[in-house]
A = this chain, B = another copy of it.
Amino acid sequence: MEHRIDKIKKQLHSQSYKLTPQREATVRVLLENEEDHLSAEDVYLLVKEKAPEIGLATVYRTLELLSELKVVDKINFGDGVSRYDLRKEGAEHFHHHLVCIECGAVEEIEEDLLGDVEKLVETQWGFQVKDHRLTFHGVCRVCQEVTVKA
């Protein structure tokens, strides 16, 4: 954890940005909730618990900055809210998501499922792939069981 904060601090410094207390608090919230997909508002409320004086605009500015540095990915599940997802260490690709249409749960898939598909797109369509976004919408394991029982 401290290691990862140090790393981010260096990334910031390398572009002459500072790791201010507000920014550090924001990063810590992201680290502590790595499994969730927090919106800016979510992050704001969690940061506010530790640093009540922080402003929403600062959270937005920090998330934007972290997004530029590729520390987080800004994602969008189509509900009109941006969510921010910490990149796993060493992850070169954006990970995938399973969104449950029953309960809204979001599961992550780290495996690279698209290697073959990307090769196909490059050769067949002549499109040079830089990144991808893959989301499956469906029914998660838990909700399938509930449906069976009901």
Contact = CB atoms under 8 A, between A and B. Distances in A.
A21 interface: no
Contacts of A129: 136-138
A58 to B, nearest CB: 20
Q: Chain A contact residues (Cβ within 8 angstroms of B): what range?
A: 20 to 34
Nearest to A131: B137
Given A125-B109, A127-B98, A133 B138 contact: no
B133 A109 contact: no
A113 B121 CA distance: 9
Contacts of A78: 74-76
Interface string A14-26: 0000000000000
Contact of A131 (B75, B109, B138): B138
Interface in A94-150: 98, 100-101, 107, 109, 113-114, 117-118, 120-121, 125-141, 144
B144 A128 contact: yes
Contact of A138 (B101, B130, B139): B130
B132 A136 contact: yes
Given A126-B140, A129-B138, A134-B134, 18 more contacts: A98-B125, A107-B127, A109-B121, A113-B120, A113-B121, A114-B117, A118-B136, A121-B136, A125-B141, A126-B141, A127-B136, A127-B139, A127-B141, A128-B139, A129-B137, A131-B136, A132-B135, A132-B136
